């Protein structure tokens, strides 16, 4: 995985060529608590930045996951259906939600780097 970039909705993105992997940040999973269910998008779906594409449910609440980038969903992390707690155990690696082929790679440049996101998350906390 490349360097992680972050959205203000607490999603992370790792870009590899024209494909971006998306998940939720460690900060987000800490706010949610124990994840018990993940609803993932359909492969082949075209999405625009800001669209609601997935839902994560914890013992405390359900939370929508928004795509920080536009493109086509090319893969989902089906393992989360059986092991939703992976989102808690490895939020910024094995707990990824989906991969998309970006339609506009420049959108990734608008996301925060890790240092900027840490400052942002600290202000949210």
Domains of the chain: 4-120 (2.40.50.100)
Task: Give the Cα separation of 74 and 41 in Å (integer).
Answer: 10
Q: Are 99 and 73 in contact (CB under 8 A)?
A: yes
Give residue 36's Cα distance to chain centre: 16
- pLDDT, position 24: 97
H-type alpha helices, the chain: 26-32, 79-82, 86-89, 106-109, 114-124
| 3 pLDDT tier (thresholds 50, 70, 90) | confident
pLDDT over 70 percentage in the chain? 98
Residue 44, φ and ψ in degrees, nearest 5: 100, -10
Greatest CA separation for the chain: 37
**pLDDT greater at residue 125 or residue 2:** 125
- pLDDT, position 2: 56
**33-91 per-position pLDDT tens digit:** 999 999 999 999 999 999 999 999 999 999 999 999 999 999 999 999 999 999 999 99
Q: For all residues of the chain together, what is the average pLDDT?
A: 95
Cβ-based neighbours of 112, under 8 Å, separated by 6 or more: 5, 6, 7, 8, 120
Q: Average pLDDT, stretch 14-37?
A: 96
| 125 pLDDT tier (thresholds 50, 70, 90) | confident
Tokens for 121? Answer: 């998350």
């Amino acid at each position: 995985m490349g360097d992680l970039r972050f959205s203000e909705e607490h999603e992370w993105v790792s870009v590899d060529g024209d494909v971006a992997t998306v998940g939720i940040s460690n900060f987000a999973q800490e706010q949610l608590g124990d994840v018990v269910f993940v609803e993932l998008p359909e492969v082949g779906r075209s999405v625009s930045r800001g669209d609601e594409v997935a839902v994560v449910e914890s013992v405390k609440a359900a939370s929508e996951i928004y795509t920080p980038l536009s493109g086509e969903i090319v893969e989902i992390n089906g393992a989360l259906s059986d092991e939703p707690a992976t989102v808690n155990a490895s939020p910024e690696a094995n707990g990824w939600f989906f991969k998309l082929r970006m339609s506009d790679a420049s959108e990734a440049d608008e996301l925060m780097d890790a240092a900027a996101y840490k400052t942002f998350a600290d202000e949210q906390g």
